[in-house]
Amino acid sequence: MAIESSLVKRKYVNIILPLFIGSMLAFLDRLNISYAALTMNKDLGFSAEVFGMGAGILFFGYIVFEIPGTVFAENHSPSKWMVRIMLTWGLVSSLMAFVRTPTQFYIVRFLVGSAEASFYPVCYSVIIPRWFNKEDRPKAVSIMLTSLLVSNIVGSPLAGILLGCKWMSLVGWQMLFLLEGAMAFIFGIILIFWLKDSPSDANWLTDREKEEIIEEYKNEIAEKNNIRKYTLWQAMADKHVLKMCLIYFLWITGFWGFGFWLPTVLKSVSGLSNSSVSLLIIVPMAIALIGFVVNGNSSSKTGEKKLHVAIPMFIGAVGMGLAVVVTNPVLSFILTCVTAVGVYVGMGVWWTYPTSFLSGPAAAGATGLINSVGNLGGWFGPYLVGFIKNRTGSYGGAFLYMTVSLLLAGILILTLKEVSSDESAPQIEIKK
């Protein structure tokens, strides 16, 4: 038991921790753009619609390069691909400090998305399955994705402080982007020596441990292939994969519509300063962080997936829906906490779905497709909020739409079928 515990710890330190840090830095980009809006929009004369378009256009870069990048990592070297992502993304994201026009804003945001594309699908479908079996995967992915909340908890006060600073000719929002880019680039160099492609390359494993992990992974692939062996194109055309694309689009519409505009909306409701808003956001993110870990652990123990994703979705819909009719600042903040729990905590369990019945290039391609199509919602949600705000002067209509979007996502999740080839290995039902 002590030996097994030691192995788990080493896998978390050498696999989940570097992915956690990379994810945290990647998410800082979303965090920084939302805080930069508090002063950048005024400095550059950007309207709410321009900001919404630029914030979300990042995901068009994802769409173009997500699937090719994920499949390339699966077929070649996932660790080197992750290094490439961090280095190029760090360089390009620094350019955000120097944009002056809407066109420049759109171009740089697209390039940032292109550089970062496939980071998460490579984590979910290529790296983690090689090290963690199907029972341990929901917990491992959930712990890795707590990075999204930790980014907010750490980055929010940092952003609040930097926005009020000025150094030489640089203002706060420019310093924010330069710091973000530098951290990503430096971490990319560190990753060269830290992350390994497979257990056979890991000097922190014994020969016996390498053999056991590799054998377990091979057995899982064989088990899936006995049900049905997918080619890359069959996986991307599978009805369950396409349904997951729709679900993720609906989910991400609400997720990023909420995330990109959270600081701006909270400030308008509360009337607080930029630094106070940045500190206030720590509370819902900390609550969601706890929910993230509890939900992932529960799914790993029980093997159940659908309810662990759908219930949080319904919670998010309730929080966002009630926020439309509430004007009291305290109640609005409570509903913000409820919404944060709903849109975040199911994410770790969700990303174990594709690898429950797919593996290799098929899993890589399908995961990239789901993330690509879903991230269209990453453009649509933020842009919709800005568009409706410009037209109506209120966020109410956009939040109502996002409420319906989350509700539909939750209902569709319940239609995903789960069967087990054995009692401990729940899978999505695939009919030949």
Query: What is the percent of the chain where pLDDT is above 90?
Result: 41
Average pLDDT over residues 203-209: 95
Higher-pLDDT residue of 188, 303 = 188
Residue 87's pLDDT is 96
d(Cα 306, Cα 328) in Å, to the nearest integer? 34
Q: What is the mean pLDDT of residues 100-119?
A: 93
| pLDDT on residue 26 | 84
Lowest mean pLDDT among 37-51, 216-230, 401-415: 216-230
Q: How many domains does the chain have?
A: 1
Which of 21-30, 101-110, 153-162 comes out lowest in average pLDDT? 153-162
Residue 72, SS3? helix
Q: What is the pLDDT of residue 390?
A: 76
The 3-state DSSP class for residue 242 equals helix
Distance CA 377, CA 370 (A): 11
CATH of the domain at 214: 1.20.1250.20
pLDDT at 122 over 90: yes
pLDDT at 167: 79
Full residue range of the structural domain in which residue 315 is found: 2-428
pLDDT of res. 260: 63
β pairing state of 170-171 and 418-420? unpaired
Q: Whole-model pTM?
A: 0.81
Instruction: Determine the pLDDT at residue 261.
Output: 65
Q: 221 is written with which tokens?
A: 């692939």
Predicted confidence at residue 70, as pLDDT, reads 92
Cα–Cα distance measured from residue 293 to residue 273, given in angstroms and rounded to the nearest whole number: 31
227: number of Cβ within 10 Å? 15
Element (H, E) at 325: none
Confidence tier at 78 by pLDDT (50, 70, 90): very high
pLDDT category of residue 97 using cuts at 50, 70 and 90: very high
Residues linked to residue 367 through DSSP beta bridges, in sequence order: none
C-alpha count within 13 angstroms, C-beta hemisphere, residue 44: 25
Rounded to the nearest integer, the mean pLDDT of the chain is 85
Residues listed for the chain: 432
Instruction: Decide if pLDDT at 277 tops 90.
Output: no
Torsion (CA) 217, 223, 224, 227 in degrees, nearest 10: 180
pLDDT of residue 3: 54
> Which residues fall within 8 angstroms of residue 153, CB to CB, at 6 or more apart?
282, 285, 286, 289
Query: With 50 as the cut, is the pLDDT of residue 420 above it?
Result: no
pLDDT at 421: 37
pLDDT band with cut points at 50, 70 and 90 for residue 4: low
